[in-house]
Structure 1
Amino acid sequence: MAKDEKFIKLAKAILEEVGEKENIINAAHCATRLRFNLRDENVPNDEKIKEIKGVLGVIRAGGQLQVIIGQDVSKVYDEVCKIIGVKSNDMIDENNKPKEKITIKSVLNGILDVLSGSLVPAIPVITASAFFKMFAALFGPSMFNIISDKSDFYVLSTFVGDAGFYFFPVLIGYTSAKKFKVSPIMGILLGAIMLHPTFTGLVGKEFSVYGIPCSVQNYGSTILPIILSVWVMSYVERFFNKYLPSALRSVFAPAFTIVVMLPIALCVLGPAGSFLGNYICNGIIALGGISGFLGVAIIGATFEFLVMSGMHMILIAFLFQVFATAGHENFVAVGMAAATYAVAGMCLGAALRIKDSEQKSLSFGFLISLLVGGITEPGLYGVGVRYKKPLLGLVAGGFAGGLYMGILHLGHYTLIPSTNIIGILAFTGNGVSNLVNGIIGCIISVIVAAVVTYFFGFDKNDPIVKGN
């Protein structure tokens, strides 16, 4: 009961600072953050929100006010929804959203918001699929060779693992439909149409939709084509729902929506999104090749700053597609691993250096939160941003671990979208050496970050490290 009261109190305090229900257009949450779309973004005082007990930090990104809570964010979000009287994932006010002046910043914020809203809900599916791919990699011929690649278990693990990635258009069709306020089942249907075996069998052949030439693509494992298509479908569906008589709407609105969307999705947005996605993915791969081991080290040193800005979702979105297309990734994912364990090292160094018992306990708690729950943000904000100088340890640890792994050209061959201790198993799938050196690289990140944080992360006269 005490815990429930804590979440209720925290939710009320946050709502009071953001302007209550009257100032909220929409509220959502991801793994660690409450995300508010506000009518008047000048109402909240970020510093006052940061002072609320239980709040780890505040970010404005993607057109949202993001309040960082940590692992208990879903419980706080549930209380927020109860207080303002809406169901989870419902738009609070979609009719009175103020028109925002179109600028480069607003467009970029919108892209970040869409990617986050479409991809984050799909992560549990990707995680489940990744575990099956990990089983096949660990116990199959490439690692411990316990099972044959002809065995039923290996075949089962392989196709179950591939399913989550191949059917991205269906999964993202659902999540992006929720984001764009389209009927989710229509998003699923559009994704299924783009993956139908008859359609994909037409790749390389002449085909038309209503006489419009169609460049047929294989949309398996793609992200952008379905997001773009569902975005346009949101306007088409709303049009028919608005203008068709209510007696005809339930039958004809879905049918007419798909009739209109077929040439748009299959002839225009699908090929355009596929081209853009491949172009960006190939660009990331090429950048990794050009920058080499130094590029991995730079990703390791700077990735957590992208997390603070919300820009990391762009990299993660295309990391998913690169992995689904190529089967491995040797640049961004490896640098991210180094950055993650640098956060762990920073928390460890701070916990060992700090004398204040409460803050020491918090730092150890942040470390455990990362290693067990896979959440970096409590440590990132609770230690790094709060005390500032420990960020030196974060940068040094990420750079050192990334440099080691980059020099050895290590890669992630099993996509495990988790930053907890199990995330190390992403290095499975390309022999024992890749896994062992991946673990060593992560340990280097931890040790370097801890040492730098311990010796250079705090002023000697700071009361928090001098004790009572």
Structure 2
Amino acid sequence: MEKNQQIAKNVMELVGGTENISFVTHCMTRLRLNLKDESIVDDNKVKAVKGVLGIAHSGGQYQIIIGQNVPKVYKAVCEMGGFKQEGAIKENLDAPKEKLTLKTIGSNIMNYMSGSMTQLIPGMIAAAMFKTLLVVLGPDMFNVIGVENDLYILLDFVYDAFFYFLPVFLGYAAAKKLGTNVILGIMMGTILLVPDFVALAGTKDMLSVYGLFNAPIQSYGQSVLPVLIAVWIMSSVEKGWKKIVPDVLSTVFVPTFTLVIMVPVLLCVCGPLGSYVGNIICSGLIGFGNIGGFFAIALIGALWEFLVMSGMHPVLIMFAMTTMMETGKEAFLSPAATCATFAAIGMALGAFFKQKNKEEKAESIGYFVSGIVGGVTEPVLFGIGFRYKKPFIAMAIGGFVGALYSGLFGVYSSFLGATNFMIFLGYVAGGTSNLIHGIIGGLLALIVSAIATYILGGFEEEEETETEEELEPVLEI
């Protein structure tokens, strides 16, 4: 009998055979068994098996340390016991553990978010290019085609096909990142966007879930946080059900039971979370803006893109629109958001000059064009900011400096319109001085962000392949 098969045979006999094993998987070095009764196992006899390096009891599992040949032993166990083979858990419990600190927690969360979002970059760039072409050919620039033209409509819905359904794509990417069921991950996004749910927004405020919970009805198109949080929770819920449900029933009941739990969690907790937190943060910023003056505008300039990415910005937009309708101008959000947008574009420019890889430089110039012409900053935020992290600091610095200048000179906009370079048209009604200072504020944000991105760098560092081990201390429920 082959060595790995012999190890598998000996181990199975010593743990009580197939009838005592409810679930089996493996990581990089360990065979992980969920046993119905661990008390019948003699640890010393298992340790004595030739090829076994040790044993551990962790997370309700009986873990047998085997080493690098564990995939072969796992395969043999599955064949002997008739177990369904699962993908390996990408962690090494026998590697030195990194001390859990606020820094590592933040880093692990960013790794999860960036690892999920960077998978979407190709579609994001393509959709942004369609939007750029729409802006160039449409009424906002050369007016070659009108808004009712078929080409304009086509370009618009191709753009929306990606960005409106961003939660769906993100559900897939996040599930893949965490090694959980990608179809259930996709469903975390589709549940939020199903037409019947969206249609309820105009007819009622709450939806009863199982008659036990109330879910606020709102639009989740283009949202990021709800799905990321939901898939993170779902990965542990699914893992828990796999330990409990017998293999013969797992295909039907694991996904069903997972959804039974996740539907109320998604609709009642994860979905509204961005709005609730956003209301608190934005209300605080509005209050601060009333007393903080130009410094508050600078702070919004630094934070705006982060608020937009997390879906925490609607309150500020409503505040800006109300102010504009009442006074005919808006001098708080408009200059701050303008500078934040140009700071994001500057991040792409700085990356272009700093990067050495030709493919990455081409991506960066694409991000720059989609931002400056199309007014779409998501590609640079996800493709550079989340991917390399340090450029986010540069973007915040640029947004702060540009918005500080705009705030000091009282720049204001007379309407909320384009988000590309045409955004400065909103400053024309305020006179030449207002327009010039508005442009200077935007250019300052772009230039400072580009320079800071170049100085901070971080592009030369090899992108790490994060594993579940890196995420487990933070993402384990």
TM-score (norm 1): 0.51
Matched position secondary structure for 1:111: helix
Aligned ranges for residues 150-299 of structure 1 at < 5 Å?
A: 150-203=148-201, 204-218=204-218, 219-277=220-278, 279-280=280-281
In the aligned structure 1, how far is the partner of 2:252 from the partner of 2:442? Answer: 58
Structure 1's 438 and 92: CA in aligned 2 closer, same or farther, altered over 3 A? farther
Tell me what 1:117 maps to: 115
What amino acid does structure 2 have at the position aligned with 1:155? Answer: I
Structure 1's 442 and 215: CA in aligned 2 closer, same or farther, altered over 3 A? same
Contact 1:342 1:397 in 2 (8 A): no
Matched position secondary structure for 1:144: coil
Structure 1's 112 and 255: CA in aligned 2 closer, same or farther, altered over 3 A? same
Contact 2:207 2:217 in 1 (8 A): no
In the aligned structure 2, how far is the partner of 1:286 from the partner of 1:146? Answer: 44
CA deviations 1:133-182 (Å, max 9, x no partner) are 22222211121111111101111112222232221211211122122221
Cα deviation for residue 238 of structure 1 reads: 0.5
Contact 2:352 2:365 in 1 (8 A): no
Structure 1's 398 and 277: CA in aligned 2 closer, same or farther, altered over 3 A? closer
Matched position secondary structure for 1:122: helix
Tell me what 1:108 maps to: 106
Contact 1:140 1:147 in 2 (8 A): yes
In the aligned structure 2, how far is the partner of 1:187 from the partner of 1:142? Answer: 38
Cα deviation for residue 118 of structure 1 reads: 2.5
Structure 1's 448 and 196: CA in aligned 2 closer, same or farther, altered over 3 A? closer
In the aligned structure 2, how far is the partner of 1:412 from the partner of 1:117? Answer: 34
Cα deviation for residue 288 of structure 1 reads: 8.9
In the aligned structure 2, how far is the partner of 1:126 from the partner of 1:412? Answer: 24
Cα deviation for residue 440 of structure 1 reads: 11
In the aligned structure 2, how far is the partner of 1:97 from the partner of 1:402? Answer: 47
Contact 1:173 1:188 in 2 (8 A): yes
Structure 1's 202 and 213: CA in aligned 2 closer, same or farther, altered over 3 A? farther
Cα deviation for residue 196 of structure 1 reads: 0.8
Contact 1:413 1:427 in 2 (8 A): no
Report how many residues are paired: 315
What amino acid does structure 2 have at the position aligned with 1:213? Answer: F
Structure 1's 276 and 213: CA in aligned 2 closer, same or farther, altered over 3 A? same
In the aligned structure 2, how far is the partner of 1:215 from the partner of 1:364? Answer: 47
Structure 1's 281 and 250: CA in aligned 2 closer, same or farther, altered over 3 A? farther
Contact 1:172 1:227 in 2 (8 A): yes
Matched position secondary structure for 2:216: coil
Contact 2:172 2:183 in 1 (8 A): yes
Matched position secondary structure for 2:217: coil
Q: Unpaired segments of 5 or more residues in structure 1? A: 1-20, 24-88, 304-313, 348-361, 377-384, 386-393, 416-425, 454-468
1:427 is aligned to 2:428: no
Aligned ranges for residues 87-102 of structure 1 at < 5 Å?
A: 92-93=90-91
Bigger radius of gyration, 1 or 2? 2
Matched position secondary structure for 2:91: coil
1:140 to 133, 138, 141: 138
Contact 1:281 1:322 in 2 (8 A): no
Contact 2:340 2:399 in 1 (8 A): no
Matched position secondary structure for 2:200: coil
Cα deviation for residue 232 of structure 1 reads: 0.9
Structure 1's 281 and 322: CA in aligned 2 closer, same or farther, altered over 3 A? farther
Tell me what 1:332 maps to: 340
Cα deviation for residue 112 of structure 1 reads: 2.0
Matched position secondary structure for 1:93: coil
What amino acid does structure 2 have at the position aligned with 1:273? Answer: G
Matched position secondary structure for 2:277: helix
In the aligned structure 1, how far is the partner of 2:134 from the partner of 2:287? Answer: 29
In the aligned structure 2, how far is the partner of 1:401 from the partner of 1:150? Answer: 37
What amino acid does structure 2 have at the position aligned with 1:216? Answer: P
Contact 2:343 2:449 in 1 (8 A): no
In the aligned structure 1, how far is the partner of 2:361 from the partner of 2:126? Answer: 23
Aligned ranges for residues 296-311 of structure 1 at < 5 Å?
A: none
TM-score (norm 2): 0.51
In the aligned structure 2, how far is the partner of 1:259 from the partner of 1:211? Answer: 13
In the aligned structure 2, how far is the partner of 1:442 from the partner of 1:194? Answer: 38
CA deviations 1:280-306 (Å, max 9, x no partner) are 577789989988887888999xx8xxx
In the aligned structure 1, how far is the partner of 2:221 from the partner of 2:212? Answer: 23
In the aligned structure 2, how far is the partner of 1:367 from the partner of 1:161? Answer: 23
CA deviations 1:325-381 (Å, max 9, x no partner) are 669942322223345546778x7xxxxxxxxxxxxxx999999779757699xxxxx
CA deviations 1:195-224 (Å, max 9, x no partner) are 111112223344211112323333112111
In the aligned structure 2, how far is the partner of 1:159 from the partner of 1:449? Answer: 32
In the aligned structure 2, how far is the partner of 1:293 from the partner of 1:200? Answer: 38
- Percentage of matched positions with identical amino acids: 34
Moved more, 288-297 or 332-341: 288-297
Cα deviation for residue 267 of structure 1 reads: 1.6
Moved more, 155-164 or 314-323: 314-323
Cα deviation for residue 239 of structure 1 reads: 1.0
In the aligned structure 1, how far is the partner of 2:448 from the partner of 2:206? Answer: 58
CA deviations 1:82-133 (Å, max 9, x no partner) are xxxxxxx986426557766654334323332222222222233222222222
